[in-house]
Amino acid sequence: MSRVLHIDLDAFFASVEEAENPELRNQKLVVMGAGERGVVTSANYRARKNGIKAGMPYKKAFSLCPDCTFISANYKIYEDYSRRFFKILEQFSPDVEHYSIDEAFIDVSRLRYIENSEIGLAVKIKREIKNKIKISASIGIGDKKVSAKIATKLAKPGGVCRVLNEDDFLTGILVSEIPGIGKALSVKFSLVGFERGRDIKKRDFLLWEKIKTGFGSFVIPFEREMLSSLPFQSVSRGRTFNRDLSEKDEILVHISEFSEEISRTLIKNQVKTSLVGVKLRYFNFYEEEFKTKMIPPISNYSDIYTQAKTLFLNNYKPVKGKLRALTVFVGNLKKAPIYYMFRPEINKKEAFSSAVFRIKERFGDRIIYPARKFVRI
């Protein structure tokens, strides 16, 4: 039987800021997106006691906790800490799945016979993370990723929770708490009488088994290898604007910026995407999301921008009002061999984008700008 550890860094962005600036550790800390109209991206547990949550607008967060310390997010530093985090995990097992910037799953089936116990292994991993990057982690242990991830939530902050009998554990869990179901689907389950896991198990055993395994148990070695090789499952960049926008050319400048940042992340990690999307949030917080599939997969800035621009121009309706925020995102990621990614004779666009990003890494981001940042294209 496989055993899985889910490791989640506690209040990641806020914890990184505390690690970089120890004077912040005793304060109620809130990390925000750009500008006063940005939203909360992370808050330490002192701030959370005041009701601060991720995604909350600045004004509401400030009204709940005016004595909080509000700082702007620094994603480059967070990505550096994330890389260090995954390097630590890879020292313990080759079977690591990078789930998000601050989360990972480890199949420890081959390791639990080496260590004294699964909990002992989890404590050792937590201690190593704390020593190396000065951040607390919570760890859940289960037969599969579903139970391990739920156990991590019960372990927060900074604890370890082990599920001994997965089936008994999940039967008592609210359907809305099961990873992969989400709020919208849980409402539909509720309408047909599925409130807890036991309701699904009793009335639809096949669905119950699918839920337990469908969240991504390690099925075959090939699948495990592919999951381990991906540094993340999706990439997104967005912003809540300082003022509501309706001028399309002005909005396209932001789409260009987000597309370039996404392309840099993909190329740096040798990953391609077969899905590009945009999310529009209007002045009244109404949201719309549009996406398109890409064949073959892409990673260069020009193609990502072209797809995001087309989605925006085809779907933005000024009659619905001005935009408060916009996000560009990519998904359905695939690992791309390095010999394919960077050889000009194979893919000139990827090679060009890679060269531009190397120049920026050496001389700074302001050394080169896309022409469309200054000209209406």
User: Is 103 known to be catalytic?
Assistant: yes
**Mind listing the pLDDT tens digit for each residue in 303-316?**
899 999 999 999 99
Token reading at 100: 């998000």
Tell me the fold of 234-373.
Answer: Dna Ligase; domain 1 (3.30.1490)
Worst-scoring range by mean pLDDT, 25-39, 100-114, 123-137, 318-332?
100-114
Reply yes or no on whether the pLDDT at 171 is more than 70.
yes
**For residues 351-375, average pLDDT:** 63
- What predicted TM-score, i.e. pTM, was given to this entire model? 0.58
**pLDDT tens-digit series, residues 223-262:** 333 334 556 678 889 988 889 999 998 999 999 989 988 9
Prior bond of 157 cis (ω within 30°): yes
DSSP for 229-278, written as a single string: H-S-S-EEEEEEEEEEE--HHHHHHHHHHHHHHHHHHHHHTTEEEEEEEE
- pLDDT, tens only, 182-229: 676 777 778 778 888 888 888 777 777 777 765 533 222 323 333 345
Among the listed residues 97, 103, 261, 350, the single catalytic one is: 103
CATH topology of domain 12-74: MutS, DNA mismatch repair protein, domain I (3.40.1170)
Bridge partners of 276, per DSSP, are 292, 330
Res. 84: pLDDT tops 50: yes
**Domain edges within the chain:** 12-74, 234-373
**Per-residue confidence (pLDDT) for residue 342, from 0 to 100:** 41
